[in-house]
Amino acid sequence: MIRVTIWNEYGKDQRSGRAGEVYPGGIHTILKEKLADRDFVITTACQEPDEDDGIPDELLNSTDVLVWWGHLHNHEVHPKTVDRICDRIYKGMGFIPLHSSHRSLPFCRLMGTSCDLTWREKAGENAFIWTVSPDHPIAEGIPPYFELEEEEMYGEYFDIPAPDEIVFLTWFRGGNVFRGGITFRRRLGKIFYFHPGHETARSYYNENVIKIIKNAIRWAAPKSDKKLEVGEWQDPVNEF
């Protein structure tokens, strides 16, 4: 079984208005329901004002893949929490930052860049997500392209290091393109950033979006208890 934790900042802006109507109970609640799978044990967690940010060690240490949704409160996550999350990723935990989590502190730390991008929120702007690595495990069962009827435009330039793989490329009605489904490896941890999921768009009701996140969870889950040996090596493998 893959132990999945879905963390959502779930601020005031998400609890009412259009966001509250589209995702009653919060994005984490809808994601938990949609991602349900016999291979997954899913836990949800929300940002808390405490020093653990709603994700204490006990939960983090029993997480195989961490799905993260942050936006207005990205910068409020404590540096110690960022340390703990990155440390778990280096040891093999999978990490899937969604949508506005491109500016989450753990993702920015892992990238080492600003992770800034261009954006536009325009009602009714649709997008087409193109599969550009059709043989990638995250693209399994995904058609050559599919449409999102409405999504916030995220576009280039996206200030990230060159991804290991670009699995999906998105084109928006307004003409912008975006490296919207990309992978990275940091030590033993696998990372997949995926752009859909504006709080007032219905992208998490799209079956291809959900299939992609499920595929990504399977891909990012640690495959063994491997440990990396780093630092000074005391014993030579062979005499020299």
Contacts to Zn ion by CB under 5 A: 100, 152, 198
| Cβ pair 214, 37 in contact under 8 A | yes
Nearer to Zn ion, 100 or 215 (CB): 100
Please list the helix, strand and coil fractions of the chain in percent, rounded to the nearest 5, in that order.
Answer: 30, 25, 45
Using CB atoms, what's the residue nearest to Zn ion? Answer: 198
Q: Kindly report the CA angle at 148 between 174 and 170, in degrees rounded to 5?
A: 55
Nearer to Zn ion, 100 or 104 (CB): 100
Short-list 120, 47, 123, 117, CA closest to 85: 47
Minimum distance from residue 236 beta carbon to Zn ion (Å) = 53
* 3-state SS record for 171-196: EECCCCEEEEEEEEEECCEEEEEECC
Nearer to Zn ion, 116 or 164 (CB): 116
Minimum distance from residue 100 beta carbon to Zn ion (Å) = 5
Strand runs (DSSP E) across 79-152, as ranges? 94-98, 118-120, 127-131, 145-148
Short-list 119, 154, 122, 139, CA closest to 209: 139
Nearer to Zn ion, 136 or 198 (CB): 198
Minimum distance from residue 125 beta carbon to Zn ion (Å) = 12
Nearer to Zn ion, 195 or 214 (CB): 195
Nearer to Zn ion, 18 or 185 (CB): 18
Minimum distance from residue 22 beta carbon to Zn ion (Å) = 12
Burial class for 112, CB neighbours closer than 10 Å (0-12, 13-18, 19+): exposed
Minimum distance from residue 99 beta carbon to Zn ion (Å) = 6
Minimum distance from residue 173 beta carbon to Zn ion (Å) = 16
